[in-house]
């Protein structure tokens, strides 16, 4: 199962990668501290899940969400941000592939719950086709 | 013959009376009244000197006319106590004396024209009989006409004065009105200015708060995240992978705090100067 970590702060990606690897061993994690590279890799790699920061210079999390909407790329997104503004939360609901809005820092427990949530959601909706087959083949 | 003569006499008198009446009713001011009286009075009575007194609250107004054409109007004068006029004014009895030097006759009558309003007529004349007998009804009519005219003109004067007062008041009111309007306008402008400046400071403050919260929280969450992972990974891994990166984040945090303070101070200065 492919997972993208997009955050301009390298340390955040390092921490998140460590947590994700702790929880599950079957994850292929791509981390990007340059969102532009993430944009380029998106269509080619088609990950099953994206952890996305919002406040980034040049290309913001919003730019990436808009890009996905314009390209009809349907990948579940978890927003992981240090901004707790209600305005951002409201804006995020406008993107239907955003299924969680999380405040940094996210710890081991948080990641476990989120992944469980993502898998459950995947069984009900189109996540299934992305998460479940990967899960089977990996196992 | 006698009848014709007296008929002619009345006709002339009537004619003179009409002219006297028409003349003084055309006069538009009190000052002009004595002149108009002098033009017509000589056709009505034979006189050397004619005086008409008219009571006013401050004393008496006096119209003086003499045979050679000297005329004047005196406002609010006082009667000389030793004169024939003063005596007639007090007693109300018509008076007649003969001037010892000139031999002229002085006649004086008092008339009540209305409530508390009196007039006096004093005539100095060479003859006495005509005045004393035939002229009495004539004098009464002259008094009636002159006092009515004086009363009218005084009324007109009063109305004019009041009109002028009203006009002045209107002008004063208008200027006050303008002042009030100007004050209102200035106040409105001040309020608008203040509101605009408050709105602008408000939005600047909001922007600063938003900036601050993100600017501070971002490096802080990194540090928190690094602390949180400490118990989840081996100590050697923490020391090798995480610790070196922690310093960078703490420096970022320190930098953010400084910038926040700097921006607040800048905004403070800006708001104090406006």
pLDDT of residue A67: 94
What distance in Å separates the CA atoms of residue A97 and residue A95, rounded to the nearest whole number? 6
The tokens describing B196, both together, are 């605009």
A132: confidence class by pLDDT, cuts 50, 70, 90: very low
The tokens describing B233, both together, are 């990974």
**Mean per-residue pLDDT, B103-130:** 86
**Mean per-residue pLDDT, B138-143:** 91
Residue B65 in this model has a pLDDT that exceeds 80: yes
Contacts of A82 in chain B (CB under 8 A): 214, 217-218, 220-221
Residue A139 in this model has a pLDDT that exceeds 50: no
pLDDT of residue A93: 93
Inspect the interface and report whether the beta carbons of B210 and A85 lie closer than 8 Å.
yes
The closest alpha carbon to B118, from B147, B138, B75, belongs to B147
The closest alpha carbon to A51, from A11, A99, A88, belongs to A99
Query: What proportion of chain A, given as a percentage, has pLDDT over 70?
Result: 86
Inspect the interface and report whether the beta carbons of B220 and A22 lie closer than 8 Å.
no
Contacts of A15 in chain B (CB under 8 A): 225-226, 229, 242
User: Can you say how many angstroms the Cα of residue B40 is from the centroid of all Cα atoms in its chain?
Assistant: 41
Q: What is the pLDDT of residues B202-255, one digit of tens each?
A: 998 888 888 887 788 889 999 999 998 988 899 999 999 888 888 889 999 999
Q: What is the pLDDT of residues A70-107, one digit of tens each?
A: 999 999 999 999 888 888 999 999 999 998 999 988 88
Tell me the shortest Cα–Cα distance from A118 to chain B, in angstroms. Answer: 22
Residue A136 in this model has a pLDDT that exceeds 80: no
Higher-confidence position of B183 and B208: B183
Residue B119 in this model has a pLDDT that exceeds 70: yes
User: Can you say how many angstroms the Cα of residue A66 is from the centroid of all Cα atoms in its chain?
Assistant: 15
Contacts of A13 in chain B (CB under 8 A): none
- Residue in A closest to B234 by C-alpha: A18
Inspect the interface and report whether the beta carbons of B213 and A15 lie closer than 8 Å.
no
Nearest-by-Cβ selection for B222 from A11, A85, A103: A11
Contacts of A85 in chain B (CB under 8 A): 210, 213-214
Query: What proportion of chain A, given as a percentage, has pLDDT over 90?
Result: 59
Inspect the interface and report whether the beta carbons of A10 and B241 lie closer than 8 Å.
no
Inspect the interface and report whether the beta carbons of A105 and B242 lie closer than 8 Å.
no
- What is the overall mean pLDDT for chain B? 89
Residue A108 in this model has a pLDDT that exceeds 50: yes
**What residue ranges do the domains of chain A occupy?**
2-138
Is the CB of B245 inside 8 Å of chain A's CB atoms?
yes
Beta strands in B105-165 (DSSP E): 105-114, 117-125
Residue A128 in this model has a pLDDT that exceeds 50: no
- Which residue in the block uniquely carries the two structure tokens 């303070």? B261
B2: confidence class by pLDDT, cuts 50, 70, 90: low
pLDDT of residue B19: 94
SS3 A6: strand
Is the distance from CB of B98 to CB of B105 less than 8 angstroms? yes
SS3 B222: helix
What distance in Å separates the CA atoms of residue B136 and residue A80, rounded to the nearest whole number? 124
Cα-based torsion angle of the residue sequence B237, B241, B243, B244 in order, rounded to the nearest 10 degrees: 150
**Mean per-residue pLDDT, B45-74:** 92
Q: What is the pLDDT of residues B153-171, one digit of tens each?
A: 999 999 999 999 999 999 9
Is the distance from CB of B111 to CB of B143 less than 8 angstroms? yes
Measured in degrees and rounded to the nearest 5, phi and psi for residue B107 equal: -115, 145
Q: What is the pLDDT of residues A37-78, one digit of tens each?
A: 999 999 899 999 999 999 898 999 999 999 999 999 999 999
Q: Is the domain covering A2-138 a CATH 3.40.50.2300 domain?
A: yes
Residue of B207, B210, B215, B221 to mutate, interface with A, max A Cβ within 10 Å = B221
Residue B111 in this model has a pLDDT that exceeds 80: yes
Residues with Cβ within 8 Å of residue A30, at least 6 apart in sequence: A2, A3, A4, A5, A38, A41, A45, A47
pLDDT of residue B270: 81
**Mean per-residue pLDDT, A125-134:** 48
pLDDT of residue B131: 56
Q: Which long-range CB contacts under 8 A does A121-126 form with residues at least 24 apart?
A: A121/A76, A122/A48, A122/A76, A126/A74
Inspect the interface and report whether the beta carbons of A15 and B210 lie closer than 8 Å.
no
Residue of A5, A9, A80, A81 to mutate, interface with B, max B Cβ within 10 Å = A9
pLDDT of residue A133: 44
DSSP single-letter state for residue A106: P
A119: confidence class by pLDDT, cuts 50, 70, 90: confident
Cβ count within 10 A of residue B159: 10
User: Can you say how many angstroms the Cα of residue A118 is from the centroid of all Cα atoms in its chain?
Assistant: 10
Query: B62 has which bridge partners?
Result: B53, B74
Residue of B229, B230, B242, B251 to mutate, interface with A, max A Cβ within 10 Å = B229
Is the distance from CB of B94 to CB of B107 less than 8 angstroms? yes
Residue B128 in this model has a pLDDT that exceeds 90: no
Please give the angle made by the CA atoms of B191, B194 and B196, to the nearest 5 degrees.
105
3-state percent breakdown (helix, strand, coil) of chain A, nearest 5: 50, 20, 30
């Amino acid at each position: 199962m492919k997972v993208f970590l997009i955050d301009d702060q390298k340390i955040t990606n390092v921490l998140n990668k460590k947590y994700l690897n702790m929880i599950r061993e079957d994850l292929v994690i791509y981390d990007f501290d340059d969102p532009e590279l993430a944009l380029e890799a998106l269509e080619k790699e088609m990950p099953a899940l994206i952890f996305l920061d919002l406040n980034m210079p040049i290309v913001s999390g919003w730019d990436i969400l808009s890009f996905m909407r314009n390209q009809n790329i349907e990948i579940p997104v978890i927003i992981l941000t240090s901004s707790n503004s209600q305005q951002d939360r409201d804006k995020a609901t406008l993107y239907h592939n955003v299924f969680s809005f999380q405040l940094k820092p996210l710890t081991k427990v948080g990641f476990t719950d989120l992944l469980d949530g993502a898998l459950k959601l995947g069984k009900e909706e189109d996540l299934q086709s992305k998460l479940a087959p990967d899960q089977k083949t990996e196992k | 013959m006698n009848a014709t003569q007296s008929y002619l006499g009345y006709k002339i008198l009537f004619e003179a009376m009409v002219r006297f009446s028409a003349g003084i009713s055309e006069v538009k001011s009190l000052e002009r009244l004595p002149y108009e009286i002098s033009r017509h009075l000589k056709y009505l009575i034979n006189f050397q000197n004619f005086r008409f007194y008219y009571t006013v609250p401050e004393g008496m107004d006096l119209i003086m006319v003499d045979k050679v054409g000297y005329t004047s109007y005196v406002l609010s004068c006082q009667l000389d106590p030793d004169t024939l006029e003063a005596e007639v004014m007090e007693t109300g009895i018509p008076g007649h004396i003969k001037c010892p030097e000139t031999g002229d006759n002085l006649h004086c009558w008092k008339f009540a024209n209305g409530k508390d309003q009196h007039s006096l007529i004093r005539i100095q004349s060479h003859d006495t009989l005509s005045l004393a007998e035939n002229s009495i009804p004539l004098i009464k009519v002259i008094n009636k006409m002159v006092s009515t005219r004086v009363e009218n003109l005084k009324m007109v004067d009063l109305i004019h004065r009041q009109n002028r007062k009203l006009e002045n008041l209107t002008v004063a009111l208008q200027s006050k009105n303008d002042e009030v309007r100007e004050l209102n306008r200035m106040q409105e402008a001040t309020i608008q200015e203040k509101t605009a400046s408050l709105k602008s400071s408000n939005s600047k403050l909001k922007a600063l708060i938003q900036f601050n919260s993100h600017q501070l929280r971002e490096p802080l969450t990194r540090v928190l995240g690094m602390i949180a992972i400490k118990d989840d990974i081996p100590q050697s891994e923490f020391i090798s992978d995480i610790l070196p990166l922690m310093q960078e984040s703490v420096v970022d945090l320190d930098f953010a705090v400084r910038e926040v303070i700097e921006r607040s101070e800048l905004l403070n200065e800006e708001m104090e100067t406006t």
